[in-house]
Amino acid sequence: MSAPMIVFDRVSKNYGDLAVLRDINLTVAAGEVISLIGPSGSGKSTLLRCVNHLERIERGSITVDGELIGYRRNGNHAYELPEKLIARQRARIGMVFQSFNLFGHMTALENVIEAPVHVLGIPRREAENLGAELLVRVGLADKLKSYPRMLSGGQQQRVAIARALAMKPKVILFDEPTSALDPELVGEVLDVMRSLAADGMTMMVVTHEMSFAREVCHRIAFMESGRIVECSTPTEVLDNPAFERTRTFLSKVQ
Amino acid sequence: MAKTTTADPTDVASEATEPMLTYVPASPWGTRIAAALLSVIVGGFLISIAGNANFGWAVVGEYLFDARILSGLYLTIWLTVVTMIIGVVLGTIFAIMAMSNNIVISTVANAYIWFFRGTPVLVQLIFWYNLGALFPELFIGVPFTPWGMSVPTNTLISPVTAAVLGLGLNEGAYMSEIIRSGLLSVDPGQRQAATSLGMTRGKALWRIVLPQAMPVIVPPTGNQTIGMLKTSSLVSVISLSDLLYSAQTIYSRNFQTIPLLIVACLWYLLATTLLSLLQARIERHFARSRQEIGAVPRRRIFR
Ligand SMILES: Nc1ncnc2c1ncn2[C@@H]1O[C@H](COP(=O)(O)OP(=O)(O)OP(=O)(O)O)[C@@H](O)[C@H]1O
Ligand SMILES: [Mg+2]
């Protein structure tokens, strides 16, 4: 675990007058699992959405696997890429949402193979084999033909993870993947994420599940008002926070 | 299940000696009486029409397959199909334009919708038909440059072209509102998920958003199509012989007004029935991801 996979270099972003991200510096190594915690509105989702250029940043740069995301560099200028090329970059950056966002008109398997077939151009038969394999891996062998409406929240989120995996992503970004789930369904999703971590997937996880963060993540970054206040190992941040603000936040969520 | 010997409050019922209940559903006498009465009234009404010589059923039979009626029917159906296709295509384009972030693009789309929904379609038809009087020559080519050629308007705009333009442009304005509301009904998260999987906006629209907007788009589009079947009869003002106009031409000579109007109505009803069946099929197709599919129970006659 050494090569840098995601590098945030002095990243700042505003919404109008509101500074949502301020001077973010962070390097996520290949195979590292890092969790983002912090109060509501601190910019965690925004930071994730900037990684695959769903949002533009105003200053600084974000690279994934050495590649500037959304822009082409020429000297000291970065020119925004045409949509097609940005889409190609996004294809290798997986994203899992709080509200699952499965495609409602497609079965679980169709959800998983949609992008491999229609973005990567993989033959349908081949994609179906891969998709079925992935669904088995997330424990949904018997749900291939089910529509999202017929699945529980935990099952839907596992399909969403399989859908992200089907693109063979370099990294996966999770934005509160278990926040919309009933407590007894949280575990099944975390189990899948745990096994991804064990396989060496690079992951950024916004979460309120402190026990998951402690057990699975290599580092935890605490954010507040657009800044990364501290970023260190789970034991450091959770048991021995260096900053008063981290301590107050943790006393509220734990 | 093992039998427990401990005193369990939930077990009391099984200890009791009362016999099992037989359930009898409430009998809907009120509904049955109403249904029977309605049958009598409707039946009487139908018989009084069928037996009434003033309706001229013999004349109806005589003209039902008249060549003029059939060619009118053909024009009506042809106009409906062509203008609806134009309407759907224009509607989709203008719906997407109206939702654009670019103010010029969205303003142009909204102005189009405002104008064509805001003026009577009859006036629009007459306008297109008389375009030659307003612009005697049409210039086809690059605007503000001499490249291109001028064509006399009347050779370009035949009555059929005028009808297709008038009805199609008008329909496009209505369809764009229907399609826009359909697109808005799809959760924005769907587009985000598609984008994050590497789809371009166009692909996300075509593969993810539009299919999920269809259940909202199809029923009002069916309504519009059936409406167009009859709205198209306005083309008689620009001397096109559609179904209704053909019937009118015939009864203006033989004065069998009612029978010929019945002939026209029978054909309109048949076309409407077929269109409704087609709509139901399309709706079923787009509802297949919904659990409730096939769950509608068969209706009883007297219950
Ligand atoms: N599209 C937007 N326009 C304007 N302001 C926005 C927009 N999206 C987010 N914000 C603001 O940016 C700030 C950061 O939002 P963000 O969603 O990143 O917070 P978060 O840390 O993910 O919070 P939560 O834990 O509630 O999800 C908030 O103050 C929010 O109000
Ligand atoms: Mg958030």
* pLDDT averaged over 10-residue windows placed end to end, chain B, 303 residues: 49 68 85 93 92 85 91 94 96 94 95 95 91 79 77 80 93 96 95 96 94 93 94 90 92 91 94 93 83 52 62
In this prediction, residue A207 carries a pLDDT of 93
* Distance, CA of A98 to CA of B35 (rounded, Å): 52
Stretch A236-244: mean pLDDT, rounded?
Answer: 90
| Ligand closest in space to the Cα of A39 | 1
Ligand 1, atom 13: closest residue by C-alpha: A41
* Distance, CA of B175 to CA of B113 (rounded, Å): 10
Nearest Cα residue to A99 out of A28, A30, A45, A27: A45
Distance of CA A173 to the CA centre of its chain: 1
Q: Distance from the CA of A49 to the center of ligand 1, in angstroms?
A: 11
* Distance, CA of B37 to CA of B42 (rounded, Å): 9
Burial bucket for residue B295 (CB in 10 Å: 0-12, 13-18, 19+): exposed
**How, if at all, do strands A4-15 and A227-232 pair?**
unpaired
Residue B105 is encoded by which pair of tokens?
């693009």
In this prediction, residue A42 carries a pLDDT of 94
In this prediction, residue B187 carries a pLDDT of 95
In this prediction, residue B155 carries a pLDDT of 75
CA angle A47, A92, A164 (to 5 degrees): 85
Residue A111 in this model has a pLDDT that exceeds 50: yes
Q: Please tell me if residue B101 touches chain A, with a CB cutoff of 8 Å.
A: no
Q: What is the mean pLDDT of chain A?
A: 93
What single-letter amino acid sits at A132?
A: A
In this prediction, residue A131 carries a pLDDT of 96
Stretch A43-53: mean pLDDT, rounded?
Answer: 95
Q: Is the CB of A46 under 6 A from ligand 1?
A: yes
φ, ψ dihedrals at A91, nearest 5°: -60, -25
Model-wide pTM > 0.95? no
In this prediction, residue B57 carries a pLDDT of 87
Q: Is the CB of A42 under 6 A from ligand 1?
A: yes
Q: How many CB pairs under 8 A join A and B?
A: 75
* Distance, CA of B69 to CA of B94 (rounded, Å): 36
Which of A32-41, A83-92, B18-27, B140-149 comes out lowest in average pLDDT? B140-149
**How, if at all, do strands A202-206 and A219-224 pair?**
unpaired
Q: How many CB atoms sit inside 10 A of residue A34's CB?
A: 20
Residue B34 is encoded by which pair of tokens?
């109403």
**How, if at all, do strands A219-224 and A227-232 pair?**
antiparallel
Residue A172 · residue A94 · CB < 8 Å: yes
Terminal Cα distance for chain A, rounded: 30
Distance of CA B60 to the CA centre of its chain: 28
For the stretch A114-147, pLDDT in tens is 999 999 999 999 999 999 999 999 999 999 999 9
Q: Please tell me if residue A162 touches chain B, with a CB cutoff of 8 Å.
A: no
In this prediction, residue B136 carries a pLDDT of 80
Task: Give the Å distances, CA to CA, from A124 to A165, A199, B71, B162, B204.
Answer: 17, 26, 47, 46, 19
Probe site for chain A from B186, B187, B197 (most A CB atoms < 10 A): B197
In this prediction, residue B15 carries a pLDDT of 61
Instruction: Produce one character per residue of B155-180: b if its CB has 16 or more CB atoms within 10 Å, e if not.
Output: eebeeeebbbbbbbbbbbbbbbbbbb
User: What DSSP element (H or E) covers B96?
Assistant: helix B67-98
Task: Give the Å distances, CA to CA, from A67 to A8, A78, A103, A170, B93.
Answer: 12, 12, 29, 12, 36
Q: Max CA-CA distance within chain A?
A: 56
Residue B58 is encoded by which pair of tokens?
């013999």
In this prediction, residue B293 carries a pLDDT of 45
**How many percent of chain A have pLDDT more than 90?**
87
B160: DSSP letter: H
User: What DSSP element (H or E) covers A203?
Assistant: strand A202-206
φ, ψ dihedrals at B149, nearest 5°: -145, 155
DSSP H helix total and E strand total for chain B: 14, 2
Stretch A206-217: mean pLDDT, rounded?
Answer: 91
Q: What is the dihedral of CA B57, B62, B68, B70, to 10 degrees?
A: 80
Residue A232 · residue A246 · CB < 8 Å: no
Q: Please tell me if residue B185 touches chain A, with a CB cutoff of 8 Å.
A: no
Stretch A46-74: mean pLDDT, rounded?
Answer: 93
Ligand 1, atom 16: closest residue by C-alpha: A43
Which domains are present in chain B?
Answer: 60-141+148-286 (1.10.3720.10)
Q: What is the dihedral of CA B237, B238, B240, B245, to 10 degrees?
A: 10
The minimum-distance atom of ligand 1 relative to the CA of A16 is 4
Instruction: Produce one character per residue of B229-267: b if its CB has 16 or more CB atoms within 10 Å, e if not.
Output: bbbbbbbbebebbbbbbbbbebbeeeebeebbebbbeeb
Residue with tokens 């081949």: A126
Q: Is A70 helix (H, G, I), strand (E, B) or coil?
A: coil
Of A1 and B174, more confident: B174
Residue B235 · residue B242 · CB < 8 Å: yes
| Ligand closest in space to the Cα of A37 | 1
Residue A66 in this model has a pLDDT that exceeds 60: yes
* Distance, CA of B22 to CA of B14 (rounded, Å): 16
In this prediction, residue A50 carries a pLDDT of 95
Residue B278 is encoded by which pair of tokens?
């087609």
Q: How confident is the model at residue A85 (pLDDT cuts 50, 70, 90)?
A: very high
Cβ of B196 and A95 within 8 Å? Answer: yes
Distance of CA B166 to the CA centre of its chain: 18
Nearest-by-Cβ selection for B189 from A83, A87, A99: A99
Nearest-by-Cβ selection for A105 from B194, B195, B289: B289
**How many percent of chain A have pLDDT more than 70?**
99
Q: Treating both helix axes as pointing N-terminal to C-terminal, what angle do A153-165 and A108-118 enclose, rounded to 10 degrees? A: 20
